[in-house]
């Protein structure tokens, strides 16, 4: 049996075809979307849990070395894993929020797959993370369908996050493929996420159109200019209909981080000064919330940085603000801050103002954020999305009949207004913001494996 598999930065989902109609499968309770999160007792627990409770062995000698080291480290720490110690989705977030200091929590591992400078041992560990998530999703889907799933088309962005170009893309796709093979998929294909979204939209068309697909995902934004409609729908090979592809490493997470940096981090000391009038170092407020940057997170949460933060607090004009930043370090609260920014972004798509309330050990930090402040905060990442659209238009040397916007952040009226300004008079349509890519991947899987 085959599925379309959207392994997303923010959420994961899968779909099967029932006749000519895709159907998304519940993966967490009644929800067809499971947040791309994982929580374990320790970092090393992930590899050991895969072996003990999923029955999955490493793919090579380096993987075996990681597993042996993980088991030894867990025994040294007195950790005996139990079934259920590795949790996913909303359950993972809830576990992390309950006690952030005592668990290992990962959000959006897809963001790291194309990172440059990764050592082989890091790549294998990311493979374990992805394999664990894929295995859980595969098991949930098979339990619901009461069938084994052996074939899948996995969505991928035009360009993964990372600065390595084609090399980064090859690295990320290889991690996804190896993880999927270990999870039990036998036949694996990939499709660009905006093309998949376009395939789902195409099923509704009664006449041929040139469509600009703008897919604003959690970690990347992708644009594809595609000729589609009844004349193209049933073609297996249709390279002439794909006019252009462009992708950039900017997505919904970047909007959340930008909003958190500009509007939430001042409560932790950003823009404050020392007693001598010197501004606090900006990177100490960027690194904790740069949740898609391995190096930034490592630098901020390093034990040595705690001494730096404590010195900043002693020198600060407003030491109570820097004390809050120290608490962020001690309790690994960067993910929480970005989560509150995401909540504000979502709410501000429907209302003019939002009150953010971040709980700390001794207080609640309340911040009023307006839609105007949101627009100002995300101006830089939003401008990169506009540049991407311009690149797709230039590459295709064509003008679309319609713009099809999808992805969670495509709901933003700010981004929609930017599209209208860039292509005045071109109608903008939207389908299922979260499910169109998954549905299109299932349609492509039907053509690939039937």
How far, in Å, CA of 385 to CA of 247, rounded?
A: 9
Q: Tokens 């630098």 — which residue?
A: 299
Q: Which two tokens stand for residue 32?
A: 């067809």
Q: Does domain 206-251+380-430 have CATH number 3.40.440.10?
A: no
For residue 107, what pLDDT is reported?
A: 86
Q: Which two tokens stand for residue 315?
A: 């020198």
In sequence order, the β-bridge partners of residue 22 are: 17
At a CB cut-off of 8 Å and minimum separation 6, what does 335 contact?
96, 100, 105, 107, 291
Nearest by Cα to 294 from 162, 179, 428: 162
Phi, psi of 104 (to 5 degrees): -105, 120
**What angle (nearest 5°) sits at the alpha carbon of residue 4, between those of residues 349 and 155?**
65
How far, in Å, CA of 367 to CA of 374, rounded?
A: 13
For residue 162, what pLDDT is reported?
A: 63
Same fold, 2-185 and 206-251+380-430: yes
How far, in Å, CA of 71 to CA of 48, rounded?
A: 6
For residue 295, what pLDDT is reported?
A: 83
Could you give the angle at which helices 166-183 and 120-145 cross, rounded to 10 degrees?
50
Q: Which two tokens stand for residue 239?
A: 């390279």
Give the pTM: 0.84
Q: DSSP letters along 10-52, please?
A: SEEEEEEEETTEEEE---BTTBS-EESEEEESSSTHHHHHHHH
Domain ranges of the chain: 2-185, 206-251+380-430, 253-377
Say if residues 108 and 253 touch (Cβ distance below 8 Å).
yes
Say if residues 345 and 261 touch (Cβ distance below 8 Å).
no
Assigned fold of 2-185: Nucleotidyltransferase; domain 5 (3.30.420)
pLDDT tens per residue, the chain (450 residues)? 999 999 998 899 999 999 999 999 999 999 999 999 999 999 999 999 999 999 998 878 888 888 999 999 999 989 999 999 999 999 998 998 888 878 999 988 898 898 888 889 999 999 999 999 999 999 999 999 999 999 999 999 888 876 667 888 999 999 999 999 999 999 999 999 999 999 999 999 999 999 999 999 888 899 999 999 999 887 777 778 889 988 888 888 899 999 999 999 999 999 999 999 999 999 999 999 998 787 899 899 999 999 999 999 999 999 999 999 999 999 989 989 999 999 999 999 889 999 999 999 878 999 999 999 999 999 999 999 999 999 999 999 999 999 999 988 888 999 999 999 999 999 999 878 889 999 999 999 999 998
For residue 163, what pLDDT is reported?
A: 63
Nearest by Cα to 369 from 224, 255, 248, 212: 255
Say if residues 8 and 56 touch (Cβ distance below 8 Å).
no
């Amino acid at each position: 049996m085959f599925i379309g598999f959207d392994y997303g930065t923010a959420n994961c989902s899968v779909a099967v075809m029932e006749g000519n109609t895709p159907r998304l499968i519940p993966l967490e309770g009644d929800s067809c979307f499971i947040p791309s999160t994982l929580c374990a007792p320790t970092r090393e627990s992930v590899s050991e849990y895969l072996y003990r409770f999923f029955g999955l062995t490493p793919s090579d000698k380096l993987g075996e070395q990681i597993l042996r080291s993980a088991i030894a480290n867990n025994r040294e720490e007195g950790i005996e894993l139990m079934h259920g110690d590795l949790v996913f989705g909303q359950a993972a977030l809830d576990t992390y929020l309950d006690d952030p200091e005592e668990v290992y929590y990962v959000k959006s591992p897809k963001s790291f797959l194309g990172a440059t400078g990764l050592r082989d041992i890091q790549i294998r560990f990311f493979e374990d993370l992805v394999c664990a998530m894929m295995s859980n999703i595969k098991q949930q889907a098979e339990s619901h369908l009461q069938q084994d799933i052996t074939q899948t088309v996995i969505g991928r962005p035009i360009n993964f996050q990372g600065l390595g170009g084609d090399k980064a893309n090859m690295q990320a796709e290889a991690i996804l493929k190896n993880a999927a093979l270990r999870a039990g998929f036998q036949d694996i294909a990939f499709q660009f996420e905006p093309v998949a979204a376009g395939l789902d939209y195409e099923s509704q068309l009664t006449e041929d159109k040139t469509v600009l697909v703008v897919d604003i995902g959690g970690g990347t934004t992708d644009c594809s200019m595609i000729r589609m409609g009844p004349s193209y729908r049933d073609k297996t090979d249709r390279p002439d209909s794909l006019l252009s592809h462009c992708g950039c490493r900017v997505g919904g997470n970047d909007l959340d981080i930008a909003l958190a940096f500009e509007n939430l981090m001042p409560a932790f000391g950003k823009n404050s000064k020392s007693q001598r009038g010197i501004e606090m170092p900006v990177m100490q407020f960027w690194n904790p919330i740069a949740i898609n940057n391995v190096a930034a997170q490592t630098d901020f949460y390093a034990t040595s940085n705690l001494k730096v933060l404590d010195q900043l607090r002693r020198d600060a004009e407003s030491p109570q603000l820097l004390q809050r930043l120290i608490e962020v370090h001690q309790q690994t609260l960067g993910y929480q801050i970005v989560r509150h920014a995401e909540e504000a972004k979502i709410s501000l798509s429907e209302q003019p103002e939002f009150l953010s309330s971040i709980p700390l050990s001794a207080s609640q930090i309340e911040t009023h954020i307006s839609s105007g402040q949101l627009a100002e905060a995300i101006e830089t990442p939003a401008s990169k999305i506009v540049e991407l659209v311009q690149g797709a238009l230039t590459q295709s040397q064509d003008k679309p009949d319609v713009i099809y916007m999808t992805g969670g952040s495509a709901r933003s009226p700010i981004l929609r207004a930017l599209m209208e300004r860039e292509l005045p008079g071109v109608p903008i349509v939207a389908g299922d913001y979260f499910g169109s890519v998954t549905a299109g991947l299932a349609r492509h899987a039907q053509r690939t494996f039937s």
